[in-house]
Amino acid sequence: MKARRIRVEPLTRVEGEGSLDIVATRGHIKALRLNIFEPPRLFQGFLVGRPWSAVPDLVARICGICPMAHVITSVQALEDALGVVPSPATVTLRRLLALGGWIQSHALHVFLLAGPDFLGCDDAVEAAGRHPDWVQRGLALKRLGNDVVVAVGGREVHPVTAVVGGFTAAPDGAGLEALARRLEEAIEPAVETVGEVAGFRRPALDRATTHAALVDAGSYAVNTGRWTTTGGLRVTAREYRKAVEEVQVPHSNALHSRLREGGGSFAVGPLPRLNLNAGRLGPEARAALEESGLRLPSFNPFDSIVVRAVELVEALAGAARCCRELAGQPDLARAVRPVEAPTRDGWGASLTEAPRGTLYHAYELDREGRVATADITPPTAQNLRHMELDLWAHLPPLLAEGQERLTRQAEMVIRSYDPCISCATHFLKLRLVEAAADEETALHA
C-alpha cells in the first residue's frame, strides 16, 4: 500500500519553528504530528531556588511576544502565594498593560501574519506592495498597542515596571489622556477592519469540541475570573491543575493538555474567549460583532481572524476606559506603589488571558521565599492537541489536491491559533529530545 509522506517545514510566520508530518494512505491520514523545534531553555530548572523577587524578570523571557502576560501572571501567582493584595489602581494599570499586549499581538496577527493568507499574498512583505493601506493600518495599530505597553511598562519587549505588589512607576495624567484619545480614534478603523475580515472567505471546519476561557463578572475577562469551559466546568486558578493534566500521547513528542474528567482536548484563545464572553463585550465591540454577522458559538478556527478583529476593538475601547479612569486618579504613582511583601513560604496560582489564550502560572515557595516548584502552562501548550485534531479533521479532503495547497491549508489552520511555539515548547523540551530516536518508527508505524 502506498503511503504518502508530506512534510511542511519549517512553518513560517509563527514564532519559533515547527514542522508537520503527515502519513496518508488513499485519502486517509494514518499519522499526523506537529513537530516543534524549539531549543530547550529549561525555565522550570533555573526558576527553582531563585528568590521570588527574581521570578517576573526571568519568566518575561519565556516569550518576547507576550512578556507582559508572563510578568502579570507570575506577579499575581506570587501575590497569591505571599498573601499580598494589590491596590485597585494597580489592578486597573495591569489590565491596561495586558490590553496593550492584546492590541499589538492581535494587530500583528490580523494584518501581518494571518491577513496576507486571506489576501492571497505570500506574506506581509508582499502585502505591503499590493495592499499598502492594509499593512500601514496594521502597523499603526500595532504601534498604538506597543505605545500602551511602553507608557505602562517602559518598553515593548520585557517591560520593567510591573512587580509583585504594584508598579515601580506610573504614567502621568496628561500622558494617559493623550493615549486615551489615540485609542478612541483608533476604534473606527478597527471596526472597519472587522467588516473587512468578516468578508474574507473562510474555509469551514466544524467539529464537536470544547472551548475554555476565563469568565469574570461584569467585564470581558483579562487578568481575573474563573476558568470556564463550554462543557460547564468552572474552576479558580488554584483549582486549574486539578481540572487539567498534561500527558504525553503516543504519536507526539509534545506534552498535551487535556481535561482530567473525560480526558478530552480543549482550545483556549480568542475564539473560545468570545464564545464564552460575548455578553460582556463593551458597546463598541458588540456593535462590530453584530455587523460582522459571525454566529456564535463558533468552533471553526478559521473564524479566529474575525474574532481577533472584534477583540482588537474591545481592547482599544477597554484600554481607553482604563486610561480615562487612571488619569482621574490624583497621585497614580503613589496609588500603584508596590505593597510590601513578606518573605515566607506559600503556594499560589494565577490564570490570565494572554493574547493567545489562558496562561497558567503556579509557584511553591520555601521558607526563605525561594521557588521550590514552578508550574507554567502557556496557551499554545494547551492548544497543541486541539490543533492536531483540527488538522486531522480538515486535511483529508485536500490530500488529493497537491502538496502546495495542502501545505497552505495546514499552515492556515495552525496559524489561526497564532501559536507561540517558542513559548509553548519551554515545557515540551524533554520530550523533544526523548522522542528523537523513535521519530521515524512513530511515523511509519
* Residues contributing to the site for ligand SF4 (CB under 6 A): 61, 64, 157
Minimum Å distance from CB 247 to another protein? 14
Does position 182 bind another protein by CB under 8 A?
no
Binding residue (CB under 8 A) for another protein from 64, 173, 195, 264: 64
Does position 339 bind another protein by CB under 8 A?
no
Binding residue (CB under 8 A) for another protein from 30, 50, 182, 241: 50
Q: Which stretch, 34-42, 215-223, 239-247, 389-397, contacts another protein (CB under 8 A)?
A: 34-42
The residues near 315 (Cβ < 8 Å, ≥ 6 apart) are: 99, 102, 103, 106, 145
Binding residue (CB under 8 A) for another protein from 20, 103, 110, 112: 112
- 5: how many CB neighbours lie within 10 A of its CB? 12
The residues near 334 (Cβ < 8 Å, ≥ 6 apart) are: none
Does position 200 bind another protein by CB under 8 A?
no
Minimum Å distance from CB 113 to another protein? 8
Minimum Å distance from CB 438 to another protein? 14
C-alpha–C-alpha distance, residues 416 and 251, integer Å: 23
13-41 b/e (C-beta count within 10 Å ≥ 16 → b):
bbbbbbebbbbbeeeebbbbbbbbebeee
Does position 42 bind another protein by CB under 8 A?
yes
**DSSP code at position 10:** S
Does position 293 bind another protein by CB under 8 A?
no
Minimum Å distance from CB 156 to another protein? 5
Residue 382 buriedness (CB in 10 A; 0-12 / 13-18 / 19+): buried
C-alpha–C-alpha distance, residues 423 and 381, integer Å: 8
Binding residue (CB under 8 A) for another protein from 19, 29, 91, 169: 169
Distance of CA 386 to the CA centre of its chain: 14
Q: Sign of the CA dihedral 233, 207, 202, 36? A: positive
DSSP codes, 377-431: E-HHHHHHHHHHHHHHHHSGGGGGG-HHHHHHHHHHHHHHT--BHHHHGGGTHHH
Minimum Å distance from CB 120 to ligand SF4? 33
The residues near 288 (Cβ < 8 Å, ≥ 6 apart) are: 190, 191, 194, 195, 309, 310, 313
Does position 108 bind another protein by CB under 8 A?
yes
Minimum Å distance from CB 151 to ligand SF4? 20
Q: Which is nearer to ligand SF4, 32 or 63 (CB)?
A: 63
Q: Which stretch, 76-84, 85-93, 158-166, 189-197, contacts another protein (CB under 8 A)?
A: 158-166
Binding residue (CB under 8 A) for another protein from 58, 178, 278, 339: 58
Minimum Å distance from CB 362 to ligand SF4? 22
C-alpha–C-alpha distance, residues 242 and 247, integer Å: 14
Name which of 122, 108, 111, 72 is nearest 93 in CA terms.
72
Query: What is the biggest distance separating any 2 CA atoms in the chain, rounded to whole angstroms?
Result: 75
Q: Which stretch, 7-15, 89-97, 234-242, 270-278, contacts another protein (CB under 8 A)?
A: 7-15
Does position 114 bind another protein by CB under 8 A?
no
DSSP codes, 287-319: HHHHHHT--SS---GGGHHHHHHHHHHHHHHHH
For the chain, what's the residue count? 445
C-alpha–C-alpha distance, residues 285 and 278, integer Å: 9
Q: Which is nearer to ligand SF4, 43 or 167 (CB)?
A: 43
Minimum Å distance from CB 236 to another protein? 26
Residue 1 buriedness (CB in 10 A; 0-12 / 13-18 / 19+): exposed
C-alpha–C-alpha distance, residues 11 and 35, integer Å: 10
Q: Which is nearer to another protein, 60 or 233 (CB)?
A: 60
Does position 140 bind another protein by CB under 8 A?
yes
Minimum Å distance from CB 42 to another protein? 6
C-alpha–C-alpha distance, residues 382 and 354, integer Å: 13
Minimum Å distance from CB 400 to another protein? 23
Does position 235 bind another protein by CB under 8 A?
no
Q: Which stretch, 119-127, 255-263, 286-294, 356-364, contacts another protein (CB under 8 A)?
A: 119-127
Q: Which is nearer to ligand SF4, 39 or 120 (CB)?
A: 39
Does position 176 bind another protein by CB under 8 A?
no
User: Which residues form the interface with another protein (CB under 8 A)?
Assistant: 10, 12-17, 37-42, 44-46, 48-51, 53-54, 57-58, 61-65, 67, 108, 112, 122-125, 128, 135-136, 139-140, 142-143, 146, 154-158, 160-161, 163, 168-169, 422-423, 429-430, 433-434
